[in-house]
Structure 1
């Protein structure tokens, strides 16, 4: 072996063979391009999914519907090229609509920038599209929210929206089908104060289907004004009937002087008091009774609902009858007249009893009898006769109700 290595011709032949082998392993040049040598059978097919589809058209004046956002591309060819295309996705799937006109049509999808060593099949290969005029219109936004999220005792005024109108862009037929533009406020927790939140816009047709349009802005600011719907008012004690004969009312008092009512703002503004009624005809001795707090129409809640009324009485020492006391009229509408059917001539009598030193000095003028006619219309009415009298005495009316006829003199 050493002899061969010492032979210069042997070394030259071996060097020539090595140079040839190295040359044959390098791709041959054709001009400035390299020609790759492929091993027979090194072909493959892969499907590249969710490749974005680009569309080229007049986006300022037209809208195209029916185009999928992505397509699948099946590529076949040398394995290295297929893998490169799948990894880099350095190609484009597109549809050219620059010269397209308004209407419906079927268009073929195209692919470019793909290696010429590869074959490609698109799925879908073509699509049915609709090209429509692009228009923009302004619409008023309607706010909505779950009113049940407003706590009891509080009320919400109509929502305030900022901005009140939004611009909506889309195909003409879609824009013309818009019926509702709503900003829905998502209230996670109950509210008891004015609340402001951002709300996304929903655009719906008459069947409440959501429409695919462009809304500017996409969200608006919605404010729900919330106010307390409660008010503290006094509890008035209303006496009904008269004490049994022989008893005099010394005092009457409630354990609770005020109540909290819940109602709409206009009802609260017109309500000055609530009442608790005590039927004196059922009182036979000093006692404490529990009675309900009576509220007027429109008041939704009152607290407390019950109160305790303490009635103190004593035995009467003397009684006297006062007759021909006039019954006054209050609350009669302007331009109306009233006629008493009963008591006759609008006069009645009282049986008054109490301590002798008080009862014996009383005169009819010490008592004021009246009927309240506010709110009554023309015609005949039965109304309660009310009495204002001095403290320390009790009385019984000869007649507790009056029948009156109201006539309108302006007609």
Structure 2
């Protein structure tokens, strides 16, 4: 057939037709028909963009994120799952105040890919925007503070926030609180960033918008301590021919640090002044043997003025 002129023309026509179909993605469309059922992937936790009049309305009930099930061409589905180059929209711009069940739409899909949003709809409530100012309370209980410390002060900056929401939610607000993100035991002064939330009388978190959403919380703690008296006892004897006239400590009281239970049992600290073999007056350092359970004392060392005289012969 190729030896004839008509045979060559027929082959050329087939080649031209093949090139035309390839250039117009006809083969991809045919393949897509087979893959539409077989190829499916899920894109998790895509953010939802809500379109409405943010100046005068407040929308509650819409989820912040949804999952999107993709169907279609293998390469495009895989690409979208990786790039997440999709936009999930809930368009409420033509809605008046009230409650609605609205469908999500997905934007950014190629022609050979379809999508299904999970869940398919959202039950939303569109209310008139209400704005009020509230003082922020910080959730810092004594149980968060270490056993050897006491809570001295909690400072919040800023002290007030602006809360925006629908009237039904705003009327339920009983507490506006800053919750610390770090839940570790507090044993020293620290500064934390805390998320601000609004709650009703049952401490249910309310669906409102807060500005700013986070505040600075400065927490000051002090070590738990107690002032106790100091007594002494003399250990040893001065040298023969000498007499001990007096011992005077430089502190009558000291401060001891520990837990509330330990400190409650301590009223006095006794120290030992060693004078063995001494022949002259001197000032000596005296160590403090702190009781079990006490972390430390201030001062950590005392001084004893020891007065010694020679015996009159």
Shorter-chain TM-score tier:
0.5 to 0.7
Whether 2:127 is the aligned partner of 1:132: answer: yes
Equivalent residue, structure 1, for 2:268: 304
Equivalent residue, structure 2, for 1:198: 192
1:246-288 deviation per Cα after TM superposition (whole angstroms, max 9, x unaligned) = xxxxxxx99988343679xxxxxxxxxxxxxxxxxxxxxxxxx
Preserved contact between residue 68 and residue 115 of structure 2 (Cα < 8 Å): no
Q: Distance in 1 between matches of 2:226 and 2:50?
A: 61
Q: Distance in 1 between matches of 2:86 and 2:179?
A: 42
Change (3 A) 1:220 1:174: farther
TM-score for both structures, normalised by structure 2: 0.58
- Quote the offset at 1:200 in angstroms: 0.8
Equivalent residue, structure 2, for 1:36: 26
Which aligned pairs between 1:386-405 and structure 2 lie closer than 5 A?
A: none
Equivalent residue, structure 1, for 2:208: 213
Q: Which runs of 5+ in 2 are unaligned?
A: 232-245, 258-262, 273-313
Aligned CA RMSD, in angstroms, stands at: 4.3
Q: Distance in 1 between matches of 2:122 and 2:19?
A: 46
1:10-60 deviation per Cα after TM superposition (whole angstroms, max 9, x unaligned) = 48566545423311312259xxx9372555863522444335443211123
Equivalent residue, structure 2, for 1:223: 219
Change (3 A) 1:129 1:187: closer
Preserved contact between residue 255 and residue 307 of structure 1 (Cα < 8 Å): no
Q: Distance in 2 between matches of 1:164 and 1:139?
A: 9
Preserved contact between residue 136 and residue 167 of structure 1 (Cα < 8 Å): yes
Whether 2:20 is the aligned partner of 1:27: answer: yes
Change (3 A) 1:119 1:72: closer
Equivalent residue, structure 2, for 1:260: 254
Q: Which has the higher contact order (CA 8 A, sep 6+)?
A: 2
1:110-130 deviation per Cα after TM superposition (whole angstroms, max 9, x unaligned) = 345545556655544433211
TM-score for both structures, normalised by structure 1: 0.46
Preserved contact between residue 202 and residue 210 of structure 1 (Cα < 8 Å): no
1:377-396 deviation per Cα after TM superposition (whole angstroms, max 9, x unaligned) = xxxxxxxxxxxxxxxxxxxx
- Quote the offset at 1:166 in angstroms: 2.3
SS of residue in 2 equivalent to 1:178: coil
Q: Which runs of 5+ in 1 are unaligned?
A: 1-8, 236-252, 264-298, 309-411
